[in-house]
Amino acid sequence: MLLIALALIGLGLLGIARSETLAGGGGRFVARQAIWAGVGLMLMLAVSVPNYRLLCPWSYVALAVSLVLLVVVYWFPAVNGAHRWIRLGGIGLQPSEFAKVAFVLALARYLRYRENFRRLRGLLLPLGIAFLPITLILREPDLGTAMVFLPVLFLMLVAAGARWRDLATVALVGLLALPVLWTQMSREQKSRVTSLLDQTVPGQTPDDDQYHLHRAKRMTALGGVWGSAVSGQRVEDSGAYRLPHAHTDFIFCVLGERFGLAGLGVVLALYAALVWRGLAVAHATREPFGRLLAVGLAGMLAVQVLINTAMTVGLLPITGLSLPLVSYGGSNMAAHCLAIGLLLGIALRPGYEMTNEPFRHTADRV
């Protein structure tokens, strides 16, 4: 996992450097990202050293602090129309990135010994735990980050032993509530969905709602199979390589232009290997808090990668969601290094629980 994380961080630095080259920048972003990468790696190793069980009593406190920070963001000026950052001097903190890790910690503690969630009524409290950060993050607004919580919740409930029938019932209720959610969405949020259903065709000039998706797909296509690193830049016009937020939300497209389809395959393979190792850690862990924590963190990484990459190629609406360890940003780097550090700590201490056996069904115990 450590080697895979280093490889992804290295690819991210190459992608950010390429985006600055295309934009005519001076390397300011890649230098900052290198510093944040160093801080993130130190945080990763520091978290993996102490026993991860020491965090269990503080899990609810971590979630409470993250919720308070999600409220504090409204006391700071909006950036691009969104209240997502707490800025102190020249340093910006994005609480929603850390709220994902705190949510996984709190949910792992809640589910470790309980059995009430194996009934439909018992799912209400886990859903409530999830909807607290989701509601605050949606109000920022940040639809992309809010979309991560529910899939992670379902994965952790499955790992803890919830019944598929109950989860399917909850999912059906959520689908029936989508028309109500649609009425509460802003015009800009609705345009992200409608532009996904009515995408531009070759030669068509995109309007404002379709501009980002059109530029993202064009940037990816310019890389071809092997990318400009091998075949050279295909178009002399620098305007063809113009992509808003290229070093953050659309870094996957920049990697596609630089390293082509083959390079994107390597990036996805690295993420798949990272998630697989995280699930392998969960499978090998006999301590319930560690197992649920590993499932949640691996699921968080997988869901975020799927949403980010799918939106850049027109399979999901465009949302402001970063690519773990690759996109530019200190909070993104620190939060995901923290998650991988916790996975490393669990892998080093698979352990055995000497009292309860929460992953064995009641009938088996009888």
Question: What digits encode the pLDDT tens for the residues 32-71?
Answer: 999 999 999 999 999 999 999 999 999 999 999 999 999 9
Does the structure show a pLDDT above 80 at 117? no
Residue 250, pLDDT score: 92
Distance CA 20, CA 331 (A): 20
Residue 357: band (very low, low, confident or very high) from pLDDT cuts 50, 70, 90: low
* Cis preceding linkage at 141, omega within 30: yes
Share of the chain above pLDDT 90, in %: 48
Q: Write the DSSP symbol of residue 239.
A: G
Q: Where are the beta strands (DSSP E) in the chain?
A: 86-88, 91-93
The residue among 325 and 361 whose pLDDT is bigger is 325
Mean pLDDT, residues 265-274: 97
Q: How confident is the model at residue 207 (pLDDT cuts 50, 70, 90)?
A: low
Give the position of tokens 């797909």.
217
- Region 102-116: mean pLDDT is 87
Contact (CB, 8 A) for 328 and 247: yes
Residue 22: the pLDDT is: 85
Q: Quick check: 203 pLDDT over 90?
A: no
Cα separation, 296 vs 283, whole angstroms: 13
Is it the case that residue 236 has pLDDT exceeding 80? no
Angle at CA of residue 355, ends 352 and 360, nearest 5°: 80
SS3 state at 286: strand
pLDDT of residue 87: 84
pLDDT, average across residues 97-118: 87
Query: What confidence score (pLDDT) does residue 202 get?
Result: 65
Handedness of CA 229, 231, 233, 234 (dihedral sign): negative
Give the span between the Cα atoms of 124 and 87, in whole angstroms.
35
Q: Give the containing element (helix H, strand E) for 91.
A: strand 91-93
pTM of the model: 0.90
pLDDT over threshold 70, residue 352: no
Answer yes or no: are the C-beta atoms of 94 and 332 closer than 8 Å. yes
Helix axes 124-138, 59-72, angle to 10 degrees: 30
